[in-house]
Structure 1
C-alpha cells in the first residue's frame, strides 16, 4: 500500500552511484569539530524549492545573517531532474556546497565517501530537539553516526469506502488496521462482490514489507533479508488476494495516479492518499466523498511509514561552525513550523506535532487529513532502507509480479530479488 507522495515538496529522485575513488575513502572525513566562531561565507543548496518558496528562504537567510554578524549565505536551488547526478558530480569534483538538501538515499553514498559530517559527533547537543525516528532516518547501516539533520516529513492516511465495506458485511466504523485484517477483509469483499470490487489497487513495496515487520537488511547492513519466512508469508498472502480478484487486475502496473482513479470510480475499497486527493474526491465524486473513511496506514508493527528530507553538512566545509549553525537554523522548530504552514509537510522537531495546527480540525478536508497524518508521524518510521536504490525497487517489483502471476513461487521470487539487490549493493 504505497503512499501517494504528490504532497511532498520535492520530487522523487534516482539512486546515486557516487564515484568513491574520486572522493576519498570513508575514513577521509575531515574533522568532526564544528566548534568555533560562526562566521564566513557558506553555500546552501536546495532541491526544487525556489520557484514556490523564494520569499521564505530569502527571509530565513536574512534572519540567520542578522543573528550571526559576519556570515554570508549563498542560496543555490537545483531542479529535481538531475539533482542526484549534480550532487554526484559536485562530490567527485570537490565542489559540494557547505549545506545540502538531501533525502536518506542521497546522503548514503556521501557518507560512505566521507563527505557527510557525523552530527552525532559534531552536533549531538541538538539531537533531543528532533523526533527520534526522524533523527535515525539519516543513519547508514554498517556505519556509526547520523549524517543529516532531519527536516520536513510526510506521510498519509488510508482512505476507505465505507459503503463498499458495509455492503460486504464489514464494519465500516472499524476498518482494517493490520495486514492480516486487510487480507481477511479483502477476501470477503471479493467474495461478496463476485470479484467486482478489489480491496487494493497496488502491489506490495519495500515499505509494506517493513510495516509487516519483515527484516529488510542484515544487522551489518551488508545484505538484504526480506526473503525470510515473514517476507514469504506476506507475498503469499498477496498472491491469495490476487487469485481471488481482491487485488485490482491492473495492480501489477499501477501508479499512484491510476490507483487513485480506481478508488475514485469506486472499484477499489481502500487507497492511501493526501488532502489533495480528498479535495479531488469532493469535486469529482461527491457520492464517494460522502462515504469516505479516514484511518491510519495499515501496519502490523504499530508504526506508520514516514518520508523524510534532511539537511546535510559537508564534512570538508571550510566554515564548519557556520555550516552546522545554519543547517540547524533551517531545521529548528520555529523555521519548520513556518514552512509547514506554507506547504503540506510536517515538522520533524519534537513537540511540534502537538501544536493546535496539527491537532485541531476546523471541518475542512485539509485539516481532516493533516490531523490524522500528524498523529501517526509521532511514532512513524522510515522503513525504506537508505541503501535501497531505484534499481532495487524495480527488482522487487518485478519479483512480486512474477510471484503473483504464478511464474515463480513467493519464496523463489524473493530469493531472486534479494540476490539481485545484493549484487547492486556491492556495485554501489
Structure 2
C-alpha cells in the first residue's frame, strides 16, 4: 500500500463500535500491567494492510527483536484494510485481541474505554521523551487519563499553489497565505480580479479546518463537541463569503479529493492540498502548472498544522506485558521508524528524527522537495481530528456546512445542528 496523504486520511474510515458490556477504563481484565519484568514469552503482533509491500521489513523487525531478547517469539499477522475495524471489534469481544496491535487514534478509543488498551503513562512513561509531544498526545482519549498507544508513523501534506494565478490577481507569488485571514483576503481579491472565474479553494471546511482556525473541537471531559463556538461560527461565516464571491469553487459542496485535484490541475483553482505523488502528475500531465508550482505549509491560524498518526497499542490482557511493551517500543523507536520512513512516504514520530538529512537536505528532486516541506511542519503538528469523531459525524458536519453555504441555514444554526447530531452519535458509542 502506497501511503499517500489521502490514503492516510481515509484509512481509518470505518467507525468502531465494541459490543462489550465493559465501558470505562480501570479493570485490565486479568493481564499484568507491570512492564518491568523479564522480557520473554510468545506474543502476537498485528499490522494493518502492510504485508504486501513491506514483508521483508517486518520479518527483519521481528528477527531483530527476537535476537535482542532470546527468550521471546513474535508471531506477525497482517489484516487487510477492508473490515479492519470490524476485525478488531470482534477480537476484542471474543477475547482474541493480539498482544500488540497497529491502531489509529479512533480505533484505540473504544478499546481504551473498555479497559483493553494498556495505559502507557503508567507502564511505559520512561519512553515518552523519545517522541514528539503532539504524536504522544494523539492517543490520549478525552474523558480518560492516560496514553493508550505508542505513536508510530505520521503523515501530513503541504499546500500547493499556482504562482501564475497569484501573480495575475496582483498577489505576491512568493508570499502565499499562511493564516486563514490571509487566505480569505487573497481569495476574495483573486475572485474579484478574475471576475469569478478563478477560485482559490475547491473544498469546504472540515473538522481539521475548524481545529486549525482555533475553534474548540470538544470539551475536555470528552462528553460533547464544541466546534459551534464563536471561532467555529466565524470560520463558516468567512467560507460563506468566499462561496458567494465564487472564491470557493461552486462545486465544492460535492467535491472529492480527486475532483479538487483535477480543478487544480486544470488551473481552475489556485490552491490545493497534496503530496509528493502529485508533483510527478503535474510534471507529466500539466507542465504549465508544474512550471508555476509553489509549495507552502497548510493554512493554520494556530501555528500548528494537522497531522495524521498511526500507533501501536498493547493489549492490557496480554500474558506477557514486559515483552509486549518492549516490542511495541522497539517497532516505534527512532532507528526502526527511520528505517521504515525510507521505504515509504511517511514520517517518524520520534523526537529529533525529522532533523536527519533525509528530511532536511535538498537533492533537486520533487519528492525530496515535498518531503522536506512536510517534515518541517510536522515538528509541532497536532492531530486535529478528535479521536471520538466518527465518519457519521464527519458526514453530519459536511451536510450542515453545505446548508450554510447555500444560505439555507445560518452558520450558527448549521454548526449547532452538526454538534447536536455528533453528540447524539457520541452517546450511541457508549
Normalising TM by the smaller chain, what interval? over 0.9
Q: Does 1:16 align with 2:24?
A: no
Aligned residue number for residue 207 of structure 1: 208
- Larger displacement relative to structure 2 (204-213 or 254-263): 254-263
Residue of structure 2 equivalent to 1:159: 160
Q: Quote the residue 2:409 is aligned against.
A: 408
Deviation for aligned residue 1:5: 2.3
Distance 1:259 1:321 in 2: 48
Q: In 1, Cα distance between the equivalents of 2:36 and 2:213?
A: 43
Aligned twin of 2:26: 27
Q: Aligned to 2:6, what secondary structure does the other structure show?
A: coil
Contact kept in structure 1, 2:15 and 2:390, CA below 8 Å: yes
Indicate if the aligned counterparts of 1:179 and 1:300 stay in contact, CA closer than 8 A: yes
Q: Provide Cα deviations, 1:297-348, integer angstroms capped at 9, x if missing partner.
A: 0000011001000000000000111100000000000000000000000000
After TM superposition, list the pairs within 5 Å mapping 1:352-367 onto structure 2.
Answer: 352-367=353-368
| 1:20-419 to 2 correspondences below 5 Å | 20-21=20-21, 23=22, 25-30=24-29, 31-419=32-420
Rounded Cα–Cα distance in structure 1 between residues aligned with 2:423 and 2:213? 21
Deviation at 1:257, TM superposition (A): 1.1
Aligned residues: 425
Whole-angstrom CA distance in 2 between matches of 1:13 and 1:99? 21
Looking at structure 2, the residues matched to 75 and 409 of structure 1 have their Cα atoms a distance apart, in angstroms, of 52
Secondary structure of the structure 2 residue equivalent to 1:227? coil
1:9 to partner: Cα distance: 9.9
Query: Closer, same or farther in 2 for the Cα pair 1:217/1:6, shift >3 Å?
Result: closer
**1:237 match: secondary structure:** helix
Residues 223-271 of structure 1: CA deviation (Å, up to 9, x unaligned): 0000011100000000000011111111011111111111000000000
Taking the aligned partners of 1:66 and 1:263, their CA distance within structure 2 comes to 50
Cα distance in structure 2, aligned partners of 1:79 and 1:100? 14
5+ residue gaps, structure 2, are none
Tell me the distance in 2 between the aligned counterparts of 1:178 and 1:10: 25
TM-score (norm 1): 0.98
Which residue does 1:425 correspond to in 2? 426
SS at match of 1:6: helix
**What 5-or-longer segments of structure 1 have no aligned partner?**
none
Structure 1 vs Structure 2 CA RMSD = 1.3
Shift of 1:28: 1.8
- TM-score normalized by the length of structure 2: 0.97
Structure 1 residue matching 2:330: 3-state secondary structure: helix
